[in-house]
Amino acid sequence: MRDAESFDDLYRATSRRLMHYAYALTGDMGEAQDLVQEVYIRAWQRWSRLRHYDAIEAWLRHVLSHLATDRWRRLRNFRAALGRTGPPGHVAPPGDEGMLLVWALRKLPPPQRRAVALHYLFDLPVEEIASETGAPTGTVKSWLSRGRAALAVALSEPAEAEDVH
């Protein structure tokens, strides 16, 4: 508990300054918030050693600087790749059938939805789905059977399907 209290004290004493520093480095408030959050996560993970440092805030700034530099490198590499390949092509909006299928899938309980998606989108056999989900193969077969039946009912109900649009 003392560790958590001392970490909280550090956070209260430094977070505002660190946030300003992150914003100055990135120019983007959302990115600055993400970086500061990552810095404090790393500090907490190392808190048993870090709390004995004389200049903890300097360590926080140092980590923040490295994270911001990494961000700039990723952006630079992304821009370079974009320059070589050009922007992505136009993607058409989903068609009516796709929208109806998503609507019907959302009506399924999560285990059935997951099994149906893994089986039909990734072409996974029942045994692999069972391994990935940790469920017995009989349960996966049941999910698939019930999922298909529920989808058939949902997709054959034109009155409710009209509400999707």
Query: In this predicted model, what pLDDT tens digit does every residue of 5-45 receive, in sequence order?
Result: 999 999 999 999 999 999 999 899 999 999 999 999 999 99
The Cα 161–Cα 149 span in angstroms is 16
The Cα 148–Cα 94 span in angstroms is 22
Q: Write down the pLDDT at residue 44.
A: 95
State the CB neighbour count (10 A cutoff) for residue 12.
9
> In the structure, what pLDDT confidence band is assigned to residue 96 with cuts at 50, 70 and 90?
confident
Q: Write down the pLDDT at residue 151.
A: 93
Q: Which fold has domain 96-162?
A: Arc Repressor Mutant, subunit A (1.10.10)
> In the structure, what pLDDT confidence band is assigned to residue 158 with cuts at 50, 70 and 90?
low
The structure tokens 């999910």 sit at 143
Residues of the chain with CATH 1.10.10.10: 96-162
On the question of pLDDT at 159 being above 70, the answer is no
In the predicted model, what is the mean pLDDT of residues 63-86?
90
HSE-up of residue 96 (Cα within 13 Å, Cβ side): 6
Of 108, 107, 155, 118, the residue nearest 140 (C-alpha): 118
Q: Which fold has domain 2-85?
A: Rna Polymerase Sigma Factor; Chain: A (1.10.1740)
135 and 111 in contact (C-beta within 8 Å)? yes
165 and 147 in contact (C-beta within 8 Å)? no
Residues of the chain with CATH 1.10.1740.10: 2-85
Q: pLDDT digit string (tens) for 110-123?
A: 999 999 999 998 99
On the question of pLDDT at 162 being above 80, the answer is no
The structure tokens 């068609």 sit at 95
On the question of pLDDT at 161 being above 50, the answer is no
